Chain A
Amino acid sequence: MTGPPDDETRDRIDDELPDGEPPEDAPDGATGDPVPVADGGFADESAEPHEPRIAFYGGKWASTVPIVFFIFWAIVQSGVLGIGDTNGLVIGALVGTILGMFLVRGDWKAYADTIFEGMTQRVAATAIVAWLWAGMFAETLQVGGFVGGLIFAADALNVGATTFPAAAFVLCGLLATGIGTGYGATVAFVTLFFPAGVLLGANPVLLFAAILSGAVFGDNLAPVSDTTIVSAVTQDADIGGVVASRFKYAILAAVPAFAAYLIMGSVLSGASLEGAAALRESATAPGLVHLISMGVVIATAVAGRHIVEAVSWGLIVAVAFNLAFGLSSVADILVFTTTSPTPAAALPFVRVGETAGVGGSLYSGAIGFFPLIVLTLLIVAMAQIMIRGGGFEAILEFLLDSVATTVRRAELTMVLGTAAINGMITINTAAEIAIAPYIARLGEKFNINGYRRANILDANTSALGYIFPWAGGVLVGYQVMVGPDGLGEQYGPEMVVNPIEVVPYVFHGWFLVIVFLLAAITGFGREYIPDRISEEVSRA
């Protein structure tokens, strides 16, 4: 996926360089014979999975300009100016992509083709599908009174503002582990648990971070998570064995993260929302029937059904409950509004209003993610430019050549390299697929077992996908807050969290990275290839 065979495009671009010279950063293997090295050195680079197809003025590093510019834009917009507008990030990605084009040597067509190549990657489509389906599902539960039900349950069980973040971390972790998509779990929990917790008095920043931590836990551990599957398959390890072997790392990070949420929950104060007391008093139990709707999704996913099928079944059950128990009207779920009287207005999903349009939970649940979908497509395109231009390879070569001289340093390089690449490429599965060949080759140079390699790869992929403001997991949660009919519109600005504020509080993500840094230094959990052989690689 990351290293397609040479094709005529590559030949054409290389041929078009000035004076017919090869790119100045041509791989070692292309300019000389591999050098045998005792004790398994790294001289034979001829099998490197990536070779530049786009030549840039300034060499391979110049191919990182679009994505580095975008990250800089995101930091300035989100961190310095405090503007969390996703559409603004889209413009940043567009400008960065255009800037990169001016650095291309020769024909710009290859650059343009790479944008399309990146946008059509399956990983981007997978994330988009998860967001759309989860958005419709969560919004339908929301109009069905699930938030009120959660507030009622929290009051009944004495789950107060201080313990709510810790509870959200555990429950979101369980949901994400069950359904295998941290993005989907983030959408559901930010739509449903987040407003309930904030209304109860929990700190919004901490609660959002706790939800993201739960998503990290699930993405990392779930057997059906796309990151788990990619990590296992690319490292020649069976999924069952991978999940069992990574449990120790996950739990060592999760326990202190849970404690940290309990402690910080009592330290950080909550937001003061106008009308919160009235909302709490009016909260009733019937919405809790949607625990069954969520249970249907989890059970169907755990039974091995595709996430699209699992969430679709949950959505059907949620709609049925809403209508059967009078939790919402048909129009709350789907409504066509016309401006002129029509006989069709007799239908439960047609209304006459001042402004024509379509609405309801299915509509607002899906449409809220449209800006993020556009941004995602642009980000994977920028990542593909970095891969095709050799910038990705340059980053890893720098790490390999400068630090990976012993097994301890090699593992540290694997941890930091995976974290760095995931810190740059917003969609973590895309980043994982890109770096997987390097992790395999580097690990094999020291006979590091496939389970260990898969665990290093996946843990740092999962963690970094939910920490920084431009990370897909953070953006998708933020979009729930600021999208059309989002939490900000429904409850007020206190229900919107600036993504950069959550960075230090995604405890499970940070602790998972720290656990692996310590594991690389101390040898905790390290296994070598001779220790045990992976069972047959299969999907589950």
Chain B
Amino acid sequence: MSRFEKFLAGWSLRSSTPDYEPGDVIEVMVTGAEGDRAIARIGDSTLRIEGAPGDAADTRIRVAVETWDETAHRGTGTYRETVGESAF
């Protein structure tokens, strides 16, 4: 991203329920768990993640989005790799 683009980033009204496309590979913070699946809450949308490590909570991981329901703002994805941790 160029410096000019950095100044222009965010000049929009962003939805509280962001949507993604199957095939997207995104970086997210794991925010919780549902059974043995990791959960990433992105705004008020939810991504369930298969194959994440058991201690993935509060880590930053890369996920391949497999399915996405734009009505319910929920989807599923597959864990690719851990790329970072919480800021604290």
Chain A interface, number of residues (Cβ within 8 angstroms): 44
Q: A80 at interface (Cβ–Cβ under 8 A)?
A: no
A523-B14 in contact (CB<8A): yes
**B7 to A: closest C-beta gap in Å:** 5
Which of A437, A441, A525, A530 has the largest number of chain B CB atoms within 10 A? A530
In the complex, which residues of chain A have a beta carbon less than 8 angstroms from the beta carbon of B46? Answer: 39
**B66 to A: closest C-beta gap in Å:** 15
**B39 to A: closest C-beta gap in Å:** 6
Q: A425 at interface (Cβ–Cβ under 8 A)?
A: no
Q: B87 at interface (Cβ–Cβ under 8 A)?
A: yes
A40-B31 in contact (CB<8A): yes
Instruction: Choose from A436, A444, A451 the contact partner of B31 (Cβ within 8 Å).
Output: A444
In the complex, which residues of chain B have a beta carbon less than 8 angstroms from the beta carbon of A302? Answer: none
In the complex, which residues of chain A have a beta carbon less than 8 angstroms from the beta carbon of B52? Answer: none
In the complex, which residues of chain A have a beta carbon less than 8 angstroms from the beta carbon of B3? Answer: 240, 244
Instruction: Choose from A36, A440, A452, A523 the contact partner of B33 (Cβ within 8 Å).
Output: A36
Instruction: Choose from B15, B39, B84 the contact partner of A40 (Cβ within 8 Å).
Output: B39
**B75 to A: closest C-beta gap in Å:** 12
**B21 to A: closest C-beta gap in Å:** 12
A529-B42 in contact (CB<8A): yes
Q: B71 at interface (Cβ–Cβ under 8 A)?
A: no
A245-B28 in contact (CB<8A): no
With A445-B41, A446-B42, A523-B16 as contacts: A38 and B87 at CB distance below 8 Å: no
A446-B41 in contact (CB<8A): yes
A406-B88 in contact (CB<8A): no
Closest to B24 in A: A530
In the complex, which residues of chain A have a beta carbon less than 8 angstroms from the beta carbon of B12? Answer: 524-525
B87-A40 in contact (CB<8A): no
Q: Which chain A residues in 429-460 approach chain B with CB under 8 Å?
A: 436-437, 440-441, 444-448, 450-452
B88-A39 in contact (CB<8A): no
Complex formed: what's the CA distance from A85 to B87 in Å?
A: 42
In the complex, which residues of chain A have a beta carbon less than 8 angstroms from the beta carbon of B31? Answer: 39-40, 444-447
Complex formed: what's the CA distance from A436 to B86 in Å?
A: 13
Q: Which chain A residues in 519-534 approach chain B with CB under 8 Å?
A: 522-530, 532-533
A522-B41 in contact (CB<8A): no
**B47 to A: closest C-beta gap in Å:** 9
In the complex, which residues of chain B have a beta carbon less than 8 angstroms from the beta carbon of A247? Answer: 7
Complex formed: what's the CA distance from A244 to B84 in Å?
A: 24
Complex formed: what's the CA distance from A194 to B88 in Å?
A: 43
Complex formed: what's the CA distance from A475 to B43 in Å?
A: 40
Q: In the complex, identify which listed stretch (A41-49, A139-147, A353-361, A373-381) lies at the interface while the others stay far away.
A: A41-49
Complex formed: what's the CA distance from A49 to B86 in Å?
A: 12
Q: A236 at interface (Cβ–Cβ under 8 A)?
A: yes
A408-B34 in contact (CB<8A): no
A-side residues, CB < 8 A to B, are: 36-41, 44, 47, 49, 234-236, 240-241, 244-245, 247-248, 406-408, 436-437, 440-441, 444-448, 450-452, 522-530, 532-533
18 A–B pairs (Cβ distance < 8 Å), ordered by A: A36-B32, A38-B39, A49-B88, A241-B6, A244-B6, A245-B9, A406-B44, A437-B87, A446-B44, A447-B40, A447-B42, A525-B10, A526-B16, A527-B10, A529-B27, A529-B60, A530-B42, A533-B27
